[in-house]
Amino acid sequence: MKSAYEDLLKAHSLSLTSVRLAVLEALGRQPHADAATIFESVQSRITTASKQAIYNNLNTLVEHGLIREIKPKGQPSLYETRIGDNHHHIVCRSCSHIVDANCHGDMPCLSPVDAHGFSIDEAEVIFWGLCPSCRKNQK
């Protein structure tokens, strides 16, 4: 069966390997997963997949812009297949739950007071707070 990810890899002239495809599929099912989670998910289907192969594939896919890497402070990098819309993230300080937050529309949706002559096309924002279930537990 041919998947949309195969076309995506072809469009970026990336070779199609079963591990690479499995990484993309795992991320499609579990957005904002870290490398360890993706490794588990891929290994459950391809038992020979090594941790190093997963890391290498994640790096290659980030470099080619097929996936996005999010680096919340103090946490392992998270990856997602939702790219190109410059959306932001809200992370729970307590349990690390992460959700997407849409950008206001224009890219970037935030502009500095002074751009110092730069042409700016992206603003990376992470909102921090407490998620609904952690707020409930606090009371």
Under the rule (CB under 5 A), what is the footprint of Zn ion?
Answer: 80, 92, 94-95, 97, 100, 131, 134
Give me the least distance between CB of 68 and Zn ion, in Å please: 7
104 Cβ partners below 8 Å, 6+ apart?
none
Using CB atoms within 10 Å of the CB of residue 39, give its burial: 0 to 12 exposed, 13 to 18 middle, 19+ buried: buried
**In Å, how far are 8, 34, 100 from 79, measured between CA atoms?**
17, 6, 12
> Cβ closer to Zn ion: 37 or 43?
37
Give me the least distance between CB of 86 and Zn ion, in Å please: 10
CA dihedral sign of residues 17, 19, 20, 21: positive
> Cβ closer to Zn ion: 16 or 124?
124
Nearest 10 degrees: Cα torsion 8, 4, 68, 106: 90
Reading the block at residue 44, the tokens are 């459950």
Give me the least distance between CB of 54 and Zn ion, in Å please: 20
> Cβ closer to Zn ion: 66 or 92?
92
> Cβ closer to Zn ion: 14 or 134?
134
